[in-house]
A = this chain, B = another copy of it.
Amino acid sequence: MAEEFFQGIGKIEYEGPDSKNPLAFKRYNPEELVEGKSMANHFRFAVAMWHTICSGGADMFGAPTRVMPWLTGSDEMEIARNKVLALFEFCQKLGVQFYCFHDRDAAPEGETFEETNAKLDEIVKLIAEQQERTGIKLLWGTACLFNHPRFMHGAATSCNADAFAYAGAQVAKAMEVAKTLGGQGYVLWGGREGYKSLLNTDMKRELDHLARFMHMVVDWKKNIGFEGQLYIEPKPMEPTKHQYDSDAAACYAFLQRYDLVEHFKLNIESNHATLAGHTFQHELEFAAANGILGSVDANRGDLLLGWDTDQFPTDIYETTLAMLTILKAGGFTTGGLNFDAHVARESIDPADLFHAHVGAMDTFARGLKIAAAIREDGVLDSFIKQRYSNWDSGIGADIEAGKVGFAELSKYIIEKGEPAANESGRVEMLEALINSYI
């Protein structure tokens, strides 16, 4: 029987808002129906293997700090197996149905690419068994194309064609793994697909290569019969000076430019949004407005710090606004909320991983219920509908219908004179309204 890594911690239960137990859900009640769907199905929460199981808390100025009993073993493959067991133990105790991982989170590299793949296969077999045992599923897979020095100039956008080739081989394998594990999606985050300096960069050629790579992904998906959704994850900077997939708009520009829109959706991360100068909700709204909202990396940045702090999401405002947009867009299908977040370097106790996830899940549960209450009352929707109501008839309707051009508008204004008076935007009233639902 497997070792228990998170000793002293049992299954996290829902105990309701009055519970004082920090290791119980106060708001997240997986079976509770909201808008006719269980909370579990609304969120499709996923645990990120890289942060929760693999990261020891190192930062640019300090060594790892966290207590991680699963990182023990006689060799690196035993450690790899323990990591998988720890991951599934964690998910089970937490009560989440999904996880996400990079190929290299699961298994180490070998001497050769084939050996690397063999190691991965061995671990994937264990993962499949654990999936079978627990019912926990893969939300999406991905490949780590940013850590190894071979990708230091980028992967698909490297000046080194061999790096592109290696990345292609690696992604091919990672997509096969995702298929093997029944993954519901596959994410491409271009961690080093950008530049350190324009002085040594041929941007056009790199963008063309990136598109070439994405078309290979699309072809490969068809080849191997992978039916999951493909996602691109925007991020503007860090580790590089600039990443081409800088925000949702940049991704959308790229996907359109290279005839890729139909094949990809976006995986929006809150902290990446704010690094790009946008709110989380903005990126969700933009993606939804253009039909490319796919999945979410749920975390939180510190807007006074200029790097990816990847904190757990604990701000009720942010989860409320996000859920308003996600519900409006019809909710997740293949996507979900992956906790791409890590505990503070000072949160060294394995229990902190539970504190962090429980707090975040409760915050999203609260956001969902607030959003649903606002939607049920229709207070925002009716305000917005009313606000744009003069577009539903008259000159507004004519404009929307394409019946008029500048000639007609000029005539209209000359006849009418000054436009109908503007009405107050009522932002302060609406902000107070949101508060009244919290």
Contact = CB atoms under 8 A, between A and B. Distances in A.
Interface in A44-87: 59-65
A90 interface: no
30 contacts: A59-B239, A62-B148, A62-B151, A62-B239, A64-B149, A159-B391, A160-B420, A160-B423, A162-B395, A162-B416, A162-B419, A165-B409, A169-B412, A172-B407, A196-B346, A202-B388, A203-B286, A208-B400, A212-B399, A238-B307, A242-B282, A249-B254, A277-B304, A314-B434, A316-B438, A343-B427, A346-B425, A346-B427, A347-B424, A362-B432
Contacts of A1: none
Interface stretch (A121-129, A179-187, A350-358): A350-358
B200 A400 contact: no
Contacts of A152: 62, 65, 345-346, 348, 422, 425
Interface stretch (A2-10, A33-41, A132-140, A216-224): A216-224
Contact of A63 (B17, B148, B356, B417): B148
A335 interface: no
Contact of A391 (B205, B247, B275): B205
Quickly give the copy total for this chain. 4
B425 A344 contact: yes
Nearest to A286: B203
Contact of A172 (B150, B246, B362, B410): B410
Contacts of A380: 199
A405 interface: yes
Contacts of A414: 112-114, 169
A250 interface: yes
A399 B249 contact: no
A196 B344 contact: yes
B159 A348 contact: no
Given A209-B400, A347-B426, 16 more contacts: A62-B239, A64-B149, A65-B149, A113-B417, A159-B390, A161-B395, A162-B395, A196-B425, A197-B425, A197-B430, A202-B384, A205-B391, A241-B305, A355-B428, A362-B435, A366-B435
